[in-house]
Chain A
Amino acid sequence: MKISFLIIVTHLLITQVVTAENLTFEEALKAKAIRYDVKSETGLRRMFLKIKNNRKNKIKVAVESGRFFLEESGQYQPFVVARPVAIRLEAGEEREIWMEGYCGNSGASSPKNNLKFNRTKMGPQLLCEVLQQMNEEKIVSKSLYQKVIWHFTNNHQLASVCAQDLDSITLKKTIQFICAKEKANPSWYSIEYANAESGDDLEFSGIPTQIKGTLSFYNPQRETVSVELANESGETVRVIQVHLGQPQGFANLPLDLSLSKIPKGKYQVRVVNREGKSLKEWPLYAS
């Protein structure tokens, strides 16, 4: 009897010592279990988080993916957490952590040194779901995370969601997930942008440089066809490709178009036969 009692008490003590209270950042804030401070540091492009446990017990705080940290003046980009981070804190402990923060507003300035980010909130629900899905897929492409975030925060076109450092299957899966959530069709092309002049990856240059895609259409008879770029008025501004004696039948033509010297705007890519008849058109937003 005494031995059983001792075993039970020991178990309870051990349990109390080992188990930390699990809280999301949101829950911890609401319960006033934590106090935090976020600052920016240039060069490293990182978010510096100082977090203190106000409780007398151990806690484990999960900083959720999709959480925004906003700069106090509102002039600079908020930081966005793309991959969740779990922080274990002893009772009363304060820790300093470097976190990977992504840009939450492509139109705002990149943060300077030692700016304070004293407000926080969760981002749009769809963004959070997509980030969670990307985490589950174990995607590590920083470029893709940033482009996905800008798609939701700044309405960047879906065609901009692409990454060179990711296999095509995983990329396709991510885009399909976004399309399913947004009830939208995937884009037939992808668009790339120039790096910002500052060299800062958190800055968006807004200068489109390249379009890549596949033109799928049916050619009713064997003949030479050309691929043209037309402006909003329907006028041809560039002949991109010529396919000599394109066979009759279904065709998938590769498109790799440099946008240098093409003004920003709405365009149409079309496949035209020798008589000038358009066989198929695709919309293109060079912006």
Chain B
Amino acid sequence: MKSNVLLMLLIGSNAFCQTPQLPFTFEELDLLETANTYTTCDESGKPMELISAMRIEINGRTCLENGLNVYLPMEKVKEFKKPTWYRWDPSVKTWKKQTLPINYISPDGKSGFNVILKCPGIYAFFEPLQGSTNKIELIAPKKMHVVKLKICQEAPFICVEMKNKKDGEFPIIPFGELKFDARITITYLEKGKEKSIDMLAGAMYDFENASERNVKTLQYKPSKTQTLFSSN
């Protein structure tokens, strides 16, 4: 009797019915998390602004025959003039440029961009930094042995990571306009082990007393670890 009831419940719950399996799963990714994890630099290390990121996983095959249409509508406040379409290449850990998005006009005359996703991976729309030639240079005591510098900020979503090439010298980092709450992560060696310091840009640079925000030479306040930032 009990087994019959259980059987009926299972049948009623569609446990025996096969629900259609979607050929893929699509997920829109959090911009800050994506920027932090993958940075927002192209293959040459040039920073870009992250607009939108997504992941697609294909079930049961390599790529989709009929791709998924992804549309990026024009934002009301800001127009993306030249959005570019990238795919994360995990083998070389960099964003690789794909075919250009297609301009499309919706039936009511609104414009945007359209790409077709067919193969699995992580993809993103980026916008090149417009007109900014600001750069950031890290000056730190040689004995600190800084090996990496990472600067990430929101709105616009830009995240750059640079490695130290020579002992005591650090490359100049191209960057857009630095914001007060940009996160700075300095990785240095202490007794052969990597350690990191996190701080906000506001703690290292006197935004208030800077003569002009867009002036090329920027002076940062030294931190407790006696690092001195300047940008030019």
Contact = CB atoms under 8 A, between A and B. Distances in A.
A253 interface: yes
Interface stretch (B16-24, B34-42, B89-97, B126-134): B16-24
A244 B24 contact: no
B45 interface: no
Contacts of A247: 73, 75-76
Given A214-B107, A239-B24, A246 B69 contact: no
A77 to B, nearest CB: 34
Given A251-B106, A254-B107, A260-B66, A231 B71 contact: no
B107 to A, nearest CB: 4
Interface in B85-116: 104, 106-108, 110
Contacts of A241: 68-71
Interface string A239-266: 1111111110011111000101100000
Nearest to A241: B69
Contact of B22 (A214, A238, A252, A253): A238
B52 interface: yes
Nearest to A250: B108
A63 B106 CA distance: 45
A235 interface: yes
Contacts of B22: 236-239
A176 interface: no
A24 to B, nearest CB: 44
A22 interface: no
Given A226-B26, A244-B52, A245-B52, A252 B69 contact: no
A243 B107 contact: no
Contacts of B228: none
A224 interface: yes
A244 B26 contact: no
Contacts of A274: 28
A251 to B, nearest CB: 7
A208 to B, nearest CB: 15
B63 interface: no
Interface in B131-169: none
Interface string B50-71: 0010100000000001101111
A239 B59 CA distance: 13
A255 B108 CA distance: 13
A246 B125 CA distance: 15
Given A245-B52, A253-B71, A253-B106, 5 more contacts: A239-B22, A244-B73, A247-B75, A247-B76, A254-B104
Interface of B: 19-20, 22-24, 26, 28, 52, 54, 65-66, 68-73, 75-76, 104, 106-108, 110, 125
**6 cross-chain pairs, A with B, having the tightest CB-CB distances, nearest first:** A252-B108, A252-B107, A241-B69, A214-B107, A243-B71, A244-B52
